[in-house]
């Protein structure tokens, strides 16, 4: 077996003793497959990763523990409280918690980076052939003198990025002769990403720093954007979503990628391109109103301001070319996910949706407090009666109390909503700079804050939030 299941504490001890060598690295997944969705999704990727590293030298051993019943004691011993929890062991001691990728290739790359040197020293042509037999993009250094300035830059970068990239280097005379130059660093793209629109290898010319060079060239003209690499791709970005699968259907995957590449070649340096699996990124498709993607790619884009656009016509090279040209020229209408504008908005708490946001919140000529909420959020439900009471108390003031369902409407990029409820205060004369509200959540807390921050003093409350006396 490529990975073993250890459901008892003594079985884990036996696993450590069987693999108790100085260079061995042990990787243990603590999970509850029977009822944890994240565990179920990780299970096949973990098994694939075990296959990938099973013959590695130095060796890497993978194991898993089911934290129900028989494995409960083992999980308790290692303070496992969430699932899946992954830990890296050296000898029989925990070395570190694992916070790396959750896909097979990413897991294997991360674990390989934990053993031995950051860069593989290739000592012969035979080792070079073996090193290049990979499905990963690699960064390779050719150095006649391993103590040269270029070599030191390379090795320092490799050590810093060992968990993210794959590195190799050589000072072997035959390897240097085959590679053509005695001192150079090249990025060698994964074989399955090879295409006629760009070179398979890119030489580092030293005009920028090595980090910038790798970031700019690693994914090529059209990168394979996965859940683990999505942060590498910055806006403005155009992504084609379809059945991307380099394991089972590399030919079909590249059929569509090559068509995207043909267009991307024309706009190199102006905008980034990527392909993504429609199944892995269904949540992004939902953000644009797509519940289903057929055989042809769906093309979605975000500009530098993070506004969203979609190719409405059927995918073709010509339609994609036209879409990119219009996007860059600012001729496309941004896609906005929005609920319908309420027919009546007479309640004390006003309801904002994406389509009426500017009119109701930005251009209302009044100070505004807005709550971004989620219908399923318990804290939001608890806040609802308090928020409504606040709105009632301030009905006659130059202050608008607003709420918006942030799960059903696009939130403008200047509002950084990462949890629910999130509240912002917008003074009427500086709506471009919303202020995050982090005060108390009782009516008096809100009133004290608003009374102090209001552009004009409230009619019913002084600046300290105390009710004003009404004259008889």
Residue 222, pLDDT above cutoff 80: yes
Domain boundaries in the chain? 3-113, 120-217, 222-328, 350-453
**Confidence tier at 75 by pLDDT (50, 70, 90):** confident
Provide, for the chain, the percentages of residues in helix, strand and coil under a 3-state DSSP scheme, each rounded to the nearest 5. 35, 20, 45
Residue 1, pLDDT above cutoff 50: no
CATH number of 222-328: 3.40.30.10
Record the tokens describing residue 65, joined without a space.
């523990």
Percentage of the chain exceeding pLDDT 70: 94
pLDDT digits (tens, 9 = 90+) for 318-375: 999 999 999 999 999 999 999 999 999 999 999 999 999 999 999 999 999 999 999 9
3-113 and 222-328 have identical folds: yes
Q: What is the phi/psi pair of residue 179, to 5°?
A: -85, -5
Residue 34, pLDDT above cutoff 90: no
**Which of 30, 37, 11 has its CA nearest to residue 68?**
30
Cα 440 to chain centroid, rounded: 32
More confident of the two residues 70 and 139: 139
Cβ atoms within 10 Å, residue 34: 11
Chain mean pLDDT for the chain: 90
CATH superfamily, region 3-113: Glutaredoxin (3.40.30.10)
Output the DSSP codes for 101-164.
-SSHHHHHHHHHHTSS-SSEE--SHHHHHHHH-SSS-EEEEEESSTTSHHHHHHHHHHHHTTTT
The CA distance from 392 to 60, in Å, is 64
The CATH topology of domain 350-453 is: Glutaredoxin (3.40.30)
CATH superfamily, region 120-217: Glutaredoxin (3.40.30.10)
Residue count (the chain): 472
The CA distance from 39 to 75, in Å, is 15
The CA distance from 433 to 446, in Å, is 19
More confident of the two residues 210 and 54: 210
pLDDT digits (tens, 9 = 90+) for 380-423: 999 999 999 999 999 999 999 999 999 999 999 889 998 999 99
Is the CB of residue 387 less than 8 Å from the CB of residue 400? no
Q: In what order do the strands lie in the sheet with 120-121?
A: 120-121, 166-170, 138-143, 183-188, 201-203
Least confident of 194-198, 314-318, 468-472: 468-472
Q: In what order do the strands lie in the sheet with 93-97?
A: 3-5, 60-66, 25-31, 85-90, 93-97
Residue 123, pLDDT above cutoff 50: yes
Residue 428, pLDDT above cutoff 50: yes
Return all residues near 44 (Cβ < 8 A) that are at least 6 apart: none
Strands 120-121 and 93-97: unpaired
- According to the model, what pLDDT value does residue 22 have? 47
Record the tokens describing residue 59, joined without a space.
């060796």
Record the tokens describing residue 206, joined without a space.
């030293």
Strands 183-188 and 166-170: unpaired
Record the tokens describing residue 409, joined without a space.
């409407």
Rounded mean pLDDT, 298-321: 95
Tell me which range, 13-27, 32-46, 104-118, 119-133, is most confidently predicted by mean pLDDT: 119-133
Give CB contacts under 8 A, 24+ apart, made by 281-284: 281/227, 281/239, 281/241, 284/239, 284/241
Least confident of 90-104, 109-123, 198-212, 277-291: 90-104
Peptide bond into 58 cis (omega under 30): yes
Is the CB of residue 407 less than 8 Å from the CB of residue 375? yes
**Confidence tier at 56 by pLDDT (50, 70, 90):** confident
Rounded mean pLDDT, 237-254: 96
The CA distance from 309 to 330, in Å, is 11
- According to the model, what pLDDT value does residue 9 have? 61
The CA distance from 414 to 434, in Å, is 8
**Confidence tier at 19 by pLDDT (50, 70, 90):** low
Q: Which pTM was predicted?
A: 0.70
Q: Which residues are catalytic?
A: 36, 39, 377, 380
């Amino acid at each position: 077996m490529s990975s073993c299941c250890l459901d008892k504490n003594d079985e884990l001890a036996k696993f450590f003793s069987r693999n108790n060598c100085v260079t061995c690295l042990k990787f243990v997944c603590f999970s509850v497959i029977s009822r944890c969705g994240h565990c179920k999704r990780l299970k096949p990727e973990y098994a694939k990763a075990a296959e990938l590293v099973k013959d590695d030298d130095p060796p890497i051993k993978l194991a898993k523990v089911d934290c129900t019943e028989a494995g409960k004691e083992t999980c308790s011993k290692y303070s496992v409280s969430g699932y899946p929890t992954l830990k890296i062991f050296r000898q029989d001691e925990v070395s570190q918690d694992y916070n790396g990728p959750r896909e097979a290739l990413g897991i294997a790359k991360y674990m390989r980076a934990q053993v031995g040197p950051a860069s593989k020293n290739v000592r012969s042509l035979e080792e070079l052939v073996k090193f290049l037999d990979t499905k990963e993009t690699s960064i390779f250094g050719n150095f006649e003198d391993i103590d040269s300035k270029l070599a030191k830059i390379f090795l320092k970068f490799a050590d810093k990025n060992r968990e993210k990239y794959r590195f190799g280097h050589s000072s072997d005379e035959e390897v240097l002769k085959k590679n053509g130059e005695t001192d150079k660093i090249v990025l060698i793209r994964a074989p399955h990403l090879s295409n006629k629109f760009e070179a398979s290898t890119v030489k580092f010319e030293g005009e920028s720093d090595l980090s910038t060079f790798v970031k700019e060239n690693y994914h090529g003209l059209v990168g394979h954007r996965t859940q683990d690499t999505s942060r590498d791709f910055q806006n403005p970005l155009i992504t084609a979503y379809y059945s991307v699968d380099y394991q089972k259907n590399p030919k079909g995957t590249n059929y569509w990628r090559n068509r995207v590449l043909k267009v991307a070649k024309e706009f190199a340096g102006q905008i980034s391109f990527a392909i993504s699996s429609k199944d892995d990124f269904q949540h992004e498709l939902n953000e644009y109103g797509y519940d289903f993607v057929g055989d042809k790619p769906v093309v979605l884009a975000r500009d530098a301001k993070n506004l969203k656009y979609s190719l409405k016509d059927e995918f073709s090279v010509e339609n994609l070319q036209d879409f990119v040209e219009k996007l860059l020229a600012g001729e496309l209408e941004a896609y906005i996910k929005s609920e319908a504008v309420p027919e009546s908005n007479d309640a004390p708490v006003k309801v904002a949706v994406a389509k009426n946001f500017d009119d109701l919140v930005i251009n209302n000529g009044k100070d505004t407090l807005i709550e971004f909420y989620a219908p399923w959020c318990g804290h939001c439900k608890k806040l609802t009666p308090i928020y409504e009471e606040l709105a009632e108390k301030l009905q006659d003031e130059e202050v608008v109390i607003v709420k918006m369902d942030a799960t059903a409407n696009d939130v403008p990029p200047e509002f950084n909503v990462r949890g629910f409820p999130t509240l912002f205060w917008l003074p009427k004369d500086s709506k471009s700079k919303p202020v995050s509200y982090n005060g108390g959540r009782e009516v008096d807390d809100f009133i004290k804050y608003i009374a102090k921050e209001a552009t004009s003093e409230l009619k019913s409350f002084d600046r300290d939030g105390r009710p004003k006396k009404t004259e008889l």
